[in-house]
Structure 1
């Protein structure tokens, strides 16, 4: 970016929050406002409303992802509609149904490794004890 960045405006806080709700990173927010990412960092330091808006938007987005991961790990059901077009019909037929999705093993393992790392980490720590033993014999053999 060339030249001086635009002066901060109060409306940027709400715009940045909406971008964060959609999953935007600080770099993407900088791109939106056509400033360097360091300007976004400065705005967060200098304008509390802007900083809080980014935190709130990111937290809400992260919560949604967390709920989705939990549902994927444990399985879930949701209402869906199948659309059929019978031969000779003038209009499609809409058939609502309740779809069931089985738990996903990979999502469950990921969740457990992060929530219960002592029980689910890949590396197990094993405590080993050593003993000093001296063996002696008359014929020099062990």
Structure 2
């Protein structure tokens, strides 16, 4: 098809209809225009949070259940619980009260459980629920600041043999090795540079 024949076809169509052929217009050709929203309107999906969940959280966790179990009870994801904790101060306060009630319920269970596997399970649950108060390890931190330049092998062995009184950290400044007149390093001695 040549350019001249295309021009002839367009001219013929204009004579017949009086206007050029337009593209078909459909409902998607116009841009979407929404109505203005009222003041305070929140866009997006509505939240599933309800203020009554605060009391439900305290009651449910007071039976000894965790935050994950609470999420299962409310039939929502655990991440949603943590999102609500960040966004709603009243829910954060309720979860903190629920955690304290959970520890109280687990301690009561420990006190009323007869000897055996139940005691071990209760202690394990308490170690996970409140690790600050229920932990097996004790952290002892000793800081000794000793400044030395040279220590011989015999002195190091004496420090090691003392055991408990040995400094936890030995700090020293780096020492440059002196060279003799020929530019070579002297032979090593039995003293160590630290």
**Greater radius of gyration (CA):** 2
For Structure 1 versus Structure 2, the TM-score category normalised by the shorter chain is 0.3 to 0.5
TM-score if structure 1 supplies the norm length? 0.45
User: Larger RCO: Structure 1 or Structure 2 (Cα < 8 Å, ≥ 6 residues apart)?
Assistant: 1
TM-score if structure 2 supplies the norm length? 0.35
Q: When you count strand as a share of all residues, which structure comes out higher?
A: 1
